[in-house]
């Protein structure tokens, strides 16, 4: 029996999934690591923490599964887009990594929008914001010129981890699309965009396909990780691309609804939909894209609520289930970090409105769940306004979809049937990708057939969908009324 190892590096933890050639999960393991906040707006991570997590998880996976390291046929790594670090001429980090949630580049992003917005949008299908590498590089150049001048190479997160395994410097085209240094039409690094960042193209990694075998586990990496020397290592790609693949969304019209730290709705299309309120990335399958909406604080809102006001998720859900739709007039807006789709407004704030003396903690709990659902409905409405067609059922992914109540609220609010699979982790998708790359799976369709297994289906109730339509109208009115107040603080 041969196995495939996929390893994801998220915002606060790494997860490894070991998948058999029959498409069954043989073992899983997670390791947490910190995000550093050295000053206001900063969000950084130490690359040493990534490597430590990698080594711990690979050794644990091998030990816990009871397999031989030589039974692992291939390895693929994924991570969040946009997170990068500078390296010297020996490919060693000069800095901590700058996480995509770092907002210190806001002035640089605004300057780029004002002076080069049309140029950048035409090449990258996106407008500058703090999440992109281009404005972050300009911020670093202006803030730490000597450090910036000493840099020879730029790594993206998963590419640095893969370099540790293979000593091969490269990236994939989906990761490149997330840098704002890549021309999506020409499918190559762009000299004009690189010039705006003050870097040369030579600093950037060569671009490969996600399924390319780019190297193998080196002797030093084998000693550190417990993997066998010479194990093939796949280029891999970004976490959302792997979540979409893990969900089995590989055909035009397939749709995923993500309820994780952030919320997303991604639709598989045959073309990009350049729009300032959508995120456009290529699919791993040639000719396809997965344009998507983005809600900044989805499951993060419920976690904030739990951590701030106390309780456990099951307890909160149990009480919230007793409360009627609309929470007797209590409405929550989940703009804890501003909002992306469909507003693109970093100054928006979260709010509870309509509070009465009759409201209990259970009302507030349900209001949070419904508010996040309204934010995702905002995204669906925006997709509909662009004429993007998709199926009436979606695959629900992300930790928030594990809660039955929240899943039902989301299904009713969106008016979509939601399917939950055995696994929707990006590490699972990376393991599937490794199988496609080395031929254990014939292609993406074969991988979906063998690996993707449905566990549960949630159906929307038309009556409740109609009630949420009315709630959504109130939600929008309140948002419109409060926006001038928040924007006036900018």
b/e per residue, 38-70, with b = 16+ CB within 10 A?
eeeebbbbbbebbbebbbbbbbbbbeebebebe
Which tokens sit at 193? 């965009």
SS3 of residue 482 by DSSP? helix
Q: Are 295 and 440 in contact (CB under 8 A)?
A: no
- The pLDDT tens digits for 381-403 are 999 999 999 999 999 998 899 89
Mean pLDDT of 99-123: 95
Q: What is the dihedral of CA 174, 420, 5, 433, to 10 degrees?
A: -40
Residue 399: predicted pLDDT: 87
Q: What is the dihedral of CA 371, 375, 377, 378, to 10 degrees?
A: 140
Residue 188: predicted pLDDT: 98
Mean of the per-residue pLDDT values of the chain: 96
Q: In whole angstroms, give the CA distance from residue 186 to residue 208.
A: 14
Task: Give the count of beta carbons closer than 10 Å to the beta carbon of residue 326.
Answer: 18
SS3 of residue 205 by DSSP? coil
SS3 of residue 204 by DSSP? coil
SS3 of residue 411 by DSSP? helix
Q: In whole angstroms, give the CA distance from residue 260 to residue 281.
A: 19
Mean pLDDT of 116-122: 97
Which tokens sit at 487? 């924007």
Decide if pLDDT at 338 tops 70: yes
- The pLDDT tens digits for 143-188 are 999 999 999 999 999 999 999 999 999 999 999 999 999 999 999 9
Decide if pLDDT at 489 tops 70: no
Q: In whole angstroms, give the CA distance from residue 77 to residue 83.
A: 14
- Cα–chain center distance at 113: 24
Cβ contacts of 104 within 8 Å, gap of 6 or more: 39, 41, 42, 130, 136, 139, 143
Decide if pLDDT at 10 tops 90: no
Q: In whole angstroms, give the CA distance from residue 383 to residue 268.
A: 12
208 strand-pairing partners: 172
């Amino acid at each position: 029996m041969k196995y495939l190892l996929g390893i994801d590096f998220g915002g606060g933890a790494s997860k490894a999934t070991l998948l058999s050639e029959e498409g069954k999960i043989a073992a899983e393991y997670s390791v947490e690591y910190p995000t550093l906040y050295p000053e206001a707006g900063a969000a950084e991570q130490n690359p040493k923490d990534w490597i430590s997590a990698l080594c711990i998880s690979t050794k644990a996976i091998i030990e816990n599964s009871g397999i031989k390291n030589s039974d692992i046929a291939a390895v693929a790594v994924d991570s969040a887009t946009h997170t990068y670090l500078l390296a010297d001429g020996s490919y060693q980090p000069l800095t901590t990594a700058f996480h995509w949630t770092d907002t210190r580049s806001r002035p640089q992003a605004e300057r780029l929008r004002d002076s080069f917005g049309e140029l950048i949008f035409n090449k990258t299908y996106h407008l500058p914001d703090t999440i992109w590498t281009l404005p972050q590089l300009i911020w670093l150049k202006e803030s730490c010129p000597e450090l910036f001048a000493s840099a020879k190479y730029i790594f993206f997160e998963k590419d640095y981890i893969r370099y540790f395994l293979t000593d091969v410097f490269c990236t994939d085209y989906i990761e490149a699309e997330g840098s704002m240094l890549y021309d999506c039409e020409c499918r190559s690094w762009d000299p004009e965009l690189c010039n705006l960042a003050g870097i040369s193209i030579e600093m950037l990694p060569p671009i490969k396909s996600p399924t390319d075998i780019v190297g193998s586990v080196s002797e030093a990496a084998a000693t550190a990780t417990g993997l066998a020397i010479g194990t093939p290592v796949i280029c891999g790609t970004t976490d959302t691309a792997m979540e979409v693949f893990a969900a089995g969304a590989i055909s035009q019209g397939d749709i995923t609804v993500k309820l994780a730290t952030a919320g997303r709705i991604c639709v598989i299309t045959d073309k990009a939909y350049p729009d300032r309120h959508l995120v456009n990335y290529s699919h791993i399958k040639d000719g396809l894209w997965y344009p998507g909406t983005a809600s900044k604080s989805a499951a993060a809102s419920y976690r904030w609520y739990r951590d701030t006001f106390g309780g456990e998720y099951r307890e909160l859900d149990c009480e919230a289930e007793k409360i009627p739709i609309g929470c007797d007039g209590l409405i929550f807006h989940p703009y804890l970090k501003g909002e992306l789709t469909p507003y693109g407004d970093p100054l928006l704030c979260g709010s509870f409105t309509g509070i009465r003396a009759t409201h209990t903690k259970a009302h507030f709990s349900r209001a949070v769940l419904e508010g996040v659902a309204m934010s995702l409905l905002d995204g669906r409405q925006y997709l509909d306004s662009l004429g993007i067609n998709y199926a009436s059922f979606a695959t629900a992914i992300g930790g928030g979809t594990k809660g039955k109540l929240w899943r039902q609220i989301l299904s009713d609010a969106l008016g979509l049937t939601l399917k939950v699979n055995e696994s929707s982790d990006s590490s699972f998708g990376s393991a599937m990708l490794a199988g496609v790359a080395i031929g254990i799976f014939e292609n993406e369709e074969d991988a979906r057939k063998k690996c993707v297994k449905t566990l549960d289906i949630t159906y929307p109730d038309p009556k409740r969908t109609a009630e949420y339509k009315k709630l959504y109208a109130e939600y929008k009115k309140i948002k419109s009324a409060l926006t001038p107040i928040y924007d006036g603080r900018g």
